[in-house]
Amino acid sequence: MKTVVIGTSSGAGMDTIMAVYPRHKMVVDKYIQMGEVVGIGPFTDRGNMAIFKTRAAAEQFVTEDPFILEGLVASFEIKDWMDEMIVV
């Protein structure tokens, strides 16, 4: 099982996003180096998603991410994802 963080954009402009991005990237890189990130990135509507190997990592990430802390993410949801392959 993996854990997914799904964020909704606050509607911030690219200038604001890019001003915060270096600090956000430092946090993301920390979790990548820890081996906790499976995938991370934005949606076309500037919302975002991050997939973590553990719920603990996802829960800690949201307490550190500047995009969340500085209001660029309007809201987020943490969901456990049963990523087993099911063939129908």
Its pTM stands at: 0.91
Predicted pLDDT of residue 75: 98
* pLDDT value, residue 84: 77
Q: Is 12 left (phi over 0), alpha (psi -120 to 50) or beta?
A: beta
Q: What is the pLDDT of residue 86?
A: 67
- Predicted confidence (pLDDT) per residue in 35-88, tens digit: 999 999 999 998 999 999 999 999 999 999 999 999 999 999 999 999 876 666
Bridge partners (DSSP) of residue 6 are 49, 77
Reported as a single tens digit per residue, the pLDDT across 5-30 is 999 999 999 999 999 999 999 999 99
In order of start, what are the domains of the chain with their CATH numbers?
Answer: 2-81 (3.30.70.1060)
